[in-house]
Amino acid sequence: MRPRLLCFTLAVALVVPCARSESTVPRDFSIVAHFGSGSIDPGDSAAAWHYTLRADGKATFEVFRFPGGSRHATRSSFSLAQSELVHMLVAIEKQGFFSLPTEMYGQVTDSPSYDLDITAGGRHHKVRVYAPYDVHDKRSLRRFRRVWETVFRPIPQPDGGDAIHHLRVNS
């Protein structure tokens, strides 16, 4: 009797994640993300950005630069395929985003900050990471990073990938 129960449990564990990847995106799905570099480069590098994504795949991306010390913002709008959103939802679930600590703060000043505010399936959670180098809970930071990478994977990075690289080497 026990081998059958074990086989059934394994079958359910393998099938449920597969069924989730084929499901539709919840109507309330949304992502709002913010990044701040922690410093203002007088050159033309991206100092900060704001990203929003809705359940229908429509997204806006606003990038802030400070060339010569003056503020310059560019805004773009685009759409992502539903399959990309489903991929994000799978990563959000797999990494347990909704159970991450709401704040992961290091004590180093002039450091990058990352905010992810996600709503899906009636659940809502916001996580803020500041100074990832100095965050002590590296396991939670890695989970956060994996969600961040998945969210930003289909989008060209305004900083050439430095924000993701900084999270990767510090988690």
> What is the mean pLDDT of the segment spanning 134-143?
97
User: Which residues are bridge partners to 31 per DSSP?
Assistant: 53, 118
97: exposed, middle or buried (C-beta count within 10 Å: 0-12, 13-18, 19+)?
A: buried
141 found inside a domain: yes
In order of 73, 104, 121, the CA distances from 127 in angstroms are 25, 8, 18
d(CA 33, CA 128): 10
Say if 57 falls within a structural domain. yes
**Does 70 reside within a domain?**
yes
Nearest to 152 by CA among 66, 64, 56, 52: 52
Neighbouring C-beta atoms of residue 23, cutoff 10 Å: 11
CATH of residue 120's domain is 3.30.1560.10
Whether the per-residue pLDDT at 156 is higher than 90: the answer is no
Give tens-digit pLDDT for 15-26. 444 444 446 999
Give pLDDT, residue 39: 73
Q: Provide the number of structural domains found in the chain.
A: 1
pTM, two decimals, is: 0.82
Output the six-digit token pair for 87.
């991929």
Pairing of strands 103-105, 113-120: unpaired
Give the pLDDT score at 132.
95
pLDDT, position 65: 85
Q: Does residue 83 lie within any of the structural domains? A: yes
Q: pLDDT tens digits, residue range 20-59?
A: 444 699 999 999 999 998 876 656 677 899 999 999 999 9
Assigned domain for 16 exists: no
Local confidence band at 7 (pLDDT 50, 70, 90 cut-offs): very low
| Cα distances (Å, whole numbers) of residue 99 to 28, 51, 53, 93, 137 | 19, 22, 21, 10, 14
The candidate with the shortest Cα–Cα distance to 92, out of 23, 137, 31, 135, is 31
Residue 148 lies in a domain: yes
**Does any domain span residue 10?**
no
* Helix 138-152, helix 82-94: angle, nearest 10: 180
The string of pLDDT tens digits covering residues 68-116 is 778 889 999 999 999 999 999 999 999 999 999 999 999 988 899 999 9
Domain that holds residue 165: 24-170
Q: Find, among 29, 42, 114, 107, the residue nearest to 71 by Cα.
A: 42
In a domain? residue 112: yes
Q: Are strands 123-130 and 103-105 parallel, antiparallel or unpaired?
A: parallel
